[in-house]
Structure 1
Amino acid sequence: MAQLLVRLGMAVIGLLVVVPASQAMSIQKIDGPPGVEAWLVEDYTVPMIAMDFVFAGGAAQDPADKPGVANMLSSLLDEGAGAMTSAEFQKALDDRSINMSFDAGRDGFYGDLKTLSENRDEAFGLLAAALQTPRLDKEPVERIRAQIAASIKSDANDPQTAATLAVCAKAFPNHPYGRPLDGTAESVAAISRDDLETYRSHVFARDNLKVAIVGAISAKEAGTMLARVFGPLPDRAKLTPVADIVPQAGIIAIDQPNPQTLIRFGGPGIKRDDPDFMAGYVVNHILGGGSFSSRLYTEVREKRGLAYTVSTSLVTLAHADAFAGGTATRADRAPETIALIKSEVARFAAEGPTEAELAKAKSYMIGSYALRFDSSSKIARQVLGIMVDNLGIDYVEKRNSLIEAITIEDARRAARRLFVDGTTMVATVGPAKTKTATAETQVPPQL
């Protein structure tokens, strides 16, 4: 027991320890099985290894009539593999303080592994078994199916879930992005073991795999590990093509007897590889990305007290791009809140930011960047994100200079491009008396 407690303590330390600043971080490409793209950050500050990886595809590869396959599989990979039952597999993880998890996103099937370096052979062996020979036994399949079904049922009255599902369905009709990630009660009930295995065999392959490793392991050792975990997978994935799509406009009003009305809004975005993306990233921060300093926060909360908070973000998917925002307010004040947001977005598109706003945003975004690299786990996530977005192995070194180089002309051009169409999508979840504001709704005067 004492040894286990020590190991658990080491695991926690490994997640929290501050590692070298991003500016001094060295990323190297490592050799692995053919087709696998893998980057490594060697760091021996603590005897820990963190690995994040992704197979391109995600929930977009679910059968059209059975959304939820990828999500269900992500919950089953650590429920027994090879000769080990679910209980045996979980005990092996617990005995060695190994953290393994999987998650299905819209465009990628993600996995991560965290382990003490002394347990790396066992950890990589368990991961290899989970990916290559998952058991998908009847008991865990039915248990996970029941858990997902219960979650879908409990979420039916959750405003956040209701808004997300409605907006996705409206914005991306007849498209994989419009389907629920978790599936529906009917689709989850219909998912078979064959569906799960077919998804795994089609998506888990080397040519659509990216891996980021951080910690106490050399490039040679990491390459050996990659060969063991991913080498036996198929050479090529069998992915169903997914069409590009522009988010559609719409007005959605969902009646729920909540104390407040939840508001979601947004419109088309900007591609991650667009030359104006970084400027768009900065102007979004000015409009609604900066929690306590943004235009919308100032106008909606500070001046009028309409909501506790309001925010916006840029959404970049493999086949669609959007800006999205949200807030919540009293039901009787929802129309004026929506009208104010629409007015501010339109004004920002027309005028863009001020010189002072741009300087302040650039200073904050440059100064806070290092906080994304203060633990092994955060570094692994950041490195994998850079790989997925195809930003280049030197992105960490040049990112801040890209922001510093943004001019007021760049920022105003990006603001026009991003927000000129305004909030083409507005969704409300609240009491029936809530009415979505129209263009004619008057914006209330400042308090």
Structure 2
Amino acid sequence: MSSPMTVHQLDDRLTVVCDTDPRLRTTTWCLRTGFGARHDPVGKGGIAHLLEHLLMSVPVDGGPGLSERVEATGGSCNAMTGPDFLLVHARTRSEDAHRVLGWLAEAAVAPDLTKDRLDAEREVVLRELATAAADPSDAVREAVYTELFPEHPLGRVVGGTPEELAGVTVADVLDTHAERFLASRHLLICVGPQAMDEILPAVRATPLGALPPARTAPDGPRVAPSLPVVRRDRPAWPRDEFCWLVLCARAAPRDSELRAAEKVLAQLMGGSPASLAYQRLRNERGLAYLFHAQQRGYAESGVWYMIVGVEAERGPATLEVARELLAELAGRGPGEAALDAARTQAGMSLVFAAEQPQDRVLQLAAHVAPTGEGPPWSLERELELLHQVTARDVRDAAARMLDGLHVIVRPEAS
């Protein structure tokens, strides 16, 4: 069995989390920083995402880039950027754990960046943006943020725009890396057979042991309490096309206990065969086959959304059914059987993640405070919060979503 998770505040810059499981033969590292797309300099959108690519590809230890080195050991390596985070994670054999940590630290703290490497990764990012723009399912997720947070850093396109990326120089990336990425607080997570007293000396021996003083990257303005836009409740449907419909609203922030009820609501409106939406949209009406719902929390706000793939001709009926169901939940709440299934599903999604090392580090990266402050996160506490959600809690959550509901369709009507 795994040992209790331990947290060590190395200094004001780095918090180390060790989740020891002696049964594992692999070690998974994750470095998460509080710098993300919302902290990109004005006019330089996409730098955080571009930096993510560069950290994976710049040479380390006089050889290939981080991802190539880790994969050559038989491991796996990946990275991602969000509105308020950038993280890199790598899983490898435990006997390779210390050298992989060294590569990860070198790439993150002292990237060997040249114009040729920047130009090459910029082209990769531009291809990635073009691919996403051509996929309506990606476009509709992106639209959720621009719709709910207009003129605010949380509404920025994570990858930036081709026009912004074209003007990014090596100096821009290095300045952003030094002044925003390195200056943010960092969280280093280890899931493997090692204990904290074994990994701390290894961490101190890497560049992560000598980070510059932490500063808080500028978040920009606070989220306005109300949206300065007119809600579009009657979307223009594309003609004779398969499209993606999204119902979305602002939700509770990351540290609010209201998010538990919103997660249960997402299960009730999600794509599980046990959900109310599945029964209504698929089994009873045969309107849609592919859909899901989710809640995501950030520092001062969050998003709740339901995405449905549907033929345009069935779009209006699908929207009507989804809104009716949300209104029913806001009116009388779910029945006990549906509520119990949704609570259990929401909890089991956390349990499934906790039992997979690579998912486990991402789970910890999403929930453990990088400052080491506040109550320690635990899977048991999250499960208890979900278990405590009542029908009235779900009713209130549905009412909040319905009150601030926005409707988006992609592709848009031509």
Task: State the TM-score, normalized to the length of structure 2.
Answer: 0.88
Which of 27, 45, 51 lines up with 1:67 in the alignment? 45
In the alignment, the residues of structure 1 paired with residue 6 and residue 317 of structure 2 have an alpha-carbon distance, to the nearest angstrom, of 52
In the alignment, the residues of structure 1 paired with residue 111 and residue 190 of structure 2 have an alpha-carbon distance, to the nearest angstrom, of 23
Map 1:189-200 to 2 at 5 A. Answer: 189-200=166-177
Instruction: State yes or no: 1:179 paired with 2:160.
Output: no
User: Which secondary structure does the structure 1 equivalent of 2:57 belong to?
Assistant: coil
In the alignment, the residues of structure 2 paired with residue 242 and residue 253 of structure 1 have an alpha-carbon distance, to the nearest angstrom, of 31
Higher Rg:
1
Which of 313, 317, 322 lines up with 2:303 in the alignment? 322
Q: Considering only aligned residues, what root-mean-square deviation do their CA atoms show, in Å?
A: 2.8
Which of 296, 317, 324 lines up with 2:277 in the alignment? 296
Which of 103, 112, 118 lines up with 2:80 in the alignment? 103
The Cα shift of 1:261 comes to 2.4
Aligned to 1:265: 247
Kept in 2, the 8 Å contact 1:34–1:206? The answer is no
The Cα shift of 1:186 comes to 0.8
Aligned to 1:47: 25
User: Which secondary structure does the structure 2 equivalent of 1:49 belong to?
Assistant: strand
1:260-311: CA deviation from partner (whole Å, max 9, x where unpaired): 122111112123333433233223322x135212222221111111111332
The Cα shift of 1:56 comes to 0.6
In the alignment, the residues of structure 1 paired with residue 351 and residue 169 of structure 2 have an alpha-carbon distance, to the nearest angstrom, of 45
Aligned to 1:340: 321
Q: Aligned in 2, Cα 1:294/1:220: closer, same or farther, shift over 3 Å? A: same
The Cα shift of 1:41 comes to 1.3
Kept in 2, the 8 Å contact 1:54–1:111? The answer is yes
Instruction: State yes or no: 1:155 paired with 2:132.
Output: yes
Aligned to 1:133: 110
1:200-234: CA deviation from partner (whole Å, max 9, x where unpaired): 11233376112221112221221122222412221
Q: Aligned in 2, Cα 1:120/1:309: closer, same or farther, shift over 3 Å? A: closer
Aligned to 1:399: 382
Instruction: State yes or no: 1:278 paired with 2:278.
Output: no
In the alignment, the residues of structure 2 paired with residue 26 and residue 124 of structure 1 have an alpha-carbon distance, to the nearest angstrom, of 22
User: Percent identical across equivalent pairs?
Assistant: 22
Structure 1 unpaired stretches of 5+? 1-19, 434-447
In the alignment, the residues of structure 1 paired with residue 255 and residue 263 of structure 2 have an alpha-carbon distance, to the nearest angstrom, of 12
Aligned to 1:16: none
Kept in 1, the 8 Å contact 2:66–2:107? The answer is no
Q: Which moved more, 1:63-72 or 1:313-322?
A: 313-322
Q: Aligned in 2, Cα 1:388/1:259: closer, same or farther, shift over 3 Å? A: farther
The Cα shift of 1:82 comes to 5.9
Q: Aligned in 2, Cα 1:394/1:25: closer, same or farther, shift over 3 Å? A: farther
Q: Aligned in 2, Cα 1:132/1:339: closer, same or farther, shift over 3 Å? A: same
In the alignment, the residues of structure 2 paired with residue 283 and residue 154 of structure 1 have an alpha-carbon distance, to the nearest angstrom, of 31
In the alignment, the residues of structure 2 paired with residue 106 and residue 48 of structure 1 have an alpha-carbon distance, to the nearest angstrom, of 30
In the alignment, the residues of structure 2 paired with residue 42 and residue 193 of structure 1 have an alpha-carbon distance, to the nearest angstrom, of 39
In the alignment, the residues of structure 1 paired with residue 6 and residue 66 of structure 2 have an alpha-carbon distance, to the nearest angstrom, of 32
In the alignment, the residues of structure 2 paired with residue 179 and residue 54 of structure 1 have an alpha-carbon distance, to the nearest angstrom, of 20
Kept in 2, the 8 Å contact 1:103–1:110? The answer is yes
Instruction: State yes or no: 1:204 paired with 2:186.
Output: no
Aligned to 1:4: none
User: Which secondary structure does the structure 2 equivalent of 1:180 belong to?
Assistant: coil
1:328-379: CA deviation from partner (whole Å, max 9, x where unpaired): 2221121121122222212211111122222333344445543222222222
Task: State the TM-score, normalized to the length of structure 1.
Answer: 0.82
